[in-house]
Structure formats: C-alpha cells, structure tokens
Amino acid sequence: MGHLPAEFMRRVICQELLQLYFALLLVLLVHKWNDRMKLLLAVLLICGFTFIAQSRITNPTLTYQQMFDQADLVTIAQPISTNDIAERIVLPDIFPDIEVVGVETEFVVQMTLKGNKAAAEKFVLHHYKMTKPVYRSGPRLVAFKPTNKEFFLLFLKKEFDGRFAPINGQTDPGRCGIFPAERIDLIAIAKPVSPKEPTEQTTWFEHYRGRSDTTPTVYLTGYQTEFAVQELLKGEKAMAKFVLHHYERVTPVNWSSSMRFPLEIDFKPDRDRLYLLILKKEAEGRFAPITRPGVYGEDTTPQGFSVIRLESAPQ
C-alpha cells in the first residue's frame, strides 16, 4: 500500500479528534453534575480542541550535511528586489488552511558554494507571504528587505521554471536553509591535520547562559581540531591553517528538549577527507560553528554543526 497524502491524513486526524471531543462533551452534559461544573468543563474541552486544531507537527530541521546534499544551489547572496505575484495558494501540511500570496525575490550572487558557478550572477527565489497574521503554530515564512543590503546563506532547490525554492519546502522555510550571513567569518574547504583534542568541560547553563546550574543535566566537553586550508572562499587571504572549536554533549539530552540529537563527530586525518566549513571567529582566534541568533546549544547538534563532509570539491 502506498503512503496516504499528508493533507488527507491531517484532515482525518482532525476529524477524529473533533468527534472525540464532542463525545466527551456530550457525556459531561448529561452527567448529574451541577450546572456550573458542566459549563466549566465544556469550555475547557472546547478550548482544548481549538488548541489541538491549530497545532501541527513540523518537519524535522535538516542538518547542514542534509541541506548541502539535497540542494541544487548553495550560495551567499543579497536580495535586490522583492515583489508579490498573482499566485494564491493554501499552504500544504498545516491546519487550519492558511492562504498565502506568491512572492519573487531577486538575488545577486556573491559566492556559490554548490551549483553552476558559471551560471547567471542573479537568481529568483520563489516563496510566499501570509494574507493575514496567524498567532499560534503558524508557518515560518521568510521575508526580505532589499534596502537593508543584507547577505544570506541559502540552500535552495531548483523549480521546473528555473526559479529556486527553499530546501525544506514552502511552509517553514524560516526553520532551516536560509540564514543571515553577517555572522560568517570563514568559509573554507579544508582537511583535518590532527584528531580532535578535548580542551575543557562545562555545563549547558555555564556555557550558554553564563551562570552555573545547581543540578546540571547536560555536560559539555569542548574539543579543538586543526585544519589545513585547501581552498579559501572567505577569510584572511594568508590563512593556511585554522583551529575548529566545538562542543559535544556528554550526557543524553532530555526528550522534552527541542534539540534531541547530540552531536558526535570524529575527524580522522588519515582519511584525507575534505570538509566545507562555514564558521564564525571566537575571541581566542579559534573558529566555531555558526548558529541562528538566540538558539542556544544548537551548535552541539547536527542541525547546528556547520561542517559539511565533501565527497569531492564543489564544482
């Protein structure tokens, strides 16, 4: 049997939940409780259904490795214009239905990390914006202001008409695949020349919040690995080597955390393997993975570890 369409399954589940809530509501209304208690519980059930109806399961955040492998174009580019188009659709994989307007944003390329470097210096990103605000469990769309003259790191898929689209679909492009590029200090194709070495041990709260935790549940071990530059794409031109500094979780992450999968990486110099590293500079002169602003601990997960293993040098 093939997989059922996601929208069909979503609607079936919502219908089943609706039937369940009305059944419970009916039982309570006929029960011999006082009128005030019946009214209170009926209100709670209705509010609970409203919350569930507006909730949804989001697609998992792709790792940098997955984004790079699946993308047709990986680039650092600047938006120069953005315009609404006549297209109107309902976003997939979200309930209740949300109507959106098509948008085309033109970018000028600063650097191509994957894709045809000899292609046009500009491209069009096809995405959407909402016609009215959604305040709970809404989509995470993206918007650009060309007047800000910002650069972005984009992982994109090519559409049949030559435009490009977000790597993880049109409903939640803001979750991964489109990042501000101002925090990127180094982009290099490099290979490790030393195995990772432990440097320090701390806790999640001490490192990311700047304060101690009386009952720490997540310990972090810091590591550093020296890399030899094979091709420098962004950074100091005279750089031949650099040190990557990153953390790994020592204890399992609580399943209530949004970052459930701890990072485990081991660079082996004898493999002679190349990596594409997209990094920020630390105060000590070492470099670290980039993360989204305000997302604490993301760099200790594969989703936030901006080091990509290459099968061959990007063309």
Distance CA 278, CA 268 (A): 19
DSSP string, 238-304: T--EEEEEEEEESSPPPTTSS--S-------GGG--EEEEEEEE-TTS-EEE---TT-TTGGGSGGG
Domain C-terminal end among 161, 180, 199: 180
> Which of helix, strand or coil describes residue 46?
helix
Check residue 73 and give left, alpha or beta (phi > 0: left; psi -120 to 50: alpha). Answer: beta
Rounded to two decimals, the pTM is 0.77
- Name the one residue in this structure whose structure tokens are 């209530």: 256
CB 71 within 8 A of CB 155: yes
Give yes or no for residue 137 having a pLDDT over 60.
yes
Torsion sign across C-alpha atoms 281, 287, 288, 291? positive
Do 15 and 101 sit in the same domain of this protein?
no
59 falls within a domain: no
Burial 232-258 (b: 16+ CB within 10 A, else e): bbbbeeeeeebbbbbbbbeeebeeeee
Give the closest residue to 107 by CA, choosing from 162, 154, 158, 166.
154
Residues written for the chain: 315
Do 300 and 210 sit in the same domain of this protein?
yes
Do 277 and 208 sit in the same domain of this protein?
yes
Do 71 and 122 sit in the same domain of this protein?
yes
Question: Nearest 5°: phi and psi at 142?
Answer: -120, 150
130 falls within a domain: yes
Instruction: Give the pLDDT mean for 288-297.
Output: 76
Q: CB-hemisphere CA count at 13 Å for 4?
A: 7
Predicted pLDDT at 233:
93
Domain C-terminal end among 129, 151, 180: 180
> Which of helix, strand or coil describes residue 137?
coil
Do 195 and 278 sit in the same domain of this protein?
yes
Do 193 and 153 sit in the same domain of this protein?
no
Q: Which two tokens stand for residue 80?
A: 């120069």
Give yes or no for residue 5 having a pLDDT over 50.
no
Q: What confidence tens digit (pLDDT) does each residue in 184-209 have?
A: 999 999 999 998 899 998 887 887 76
Run of H or E including 241:
strand 241-249
Do 89 and 159 sit in the same domain of this protein?
yes
Domain C-terminal end among 180, 196, 225: 180
Longest CA–CA span in the chain (Å) reads 82
Torsion sign across C-alpha atoms 14, 20, 24, 29? positive
Domain that holds residue 19: 6-53
Q: What confidence tens digit (pLDDT) does each residue in 73-125 have?
A: 999 999 999 999 999 998 887 777 889 999 999 999 999 999 987 666 899 99
Instruction: Give the pLDDT mean for 127-131.
Output: 92
1 falls within a domain: no
Q: What radius of gyration, in Å, describes the C-alpha atoms of the chain? A: 24
Distance CA 9, CA 2 (A): 13
Run of H or E including 242:
strand 241-249
Q: What confidence tens digit (pLDDT) does each residue in 151-170 have?
A: 999 999 999 999 999 998 88
What is the domain count for the chain? 3
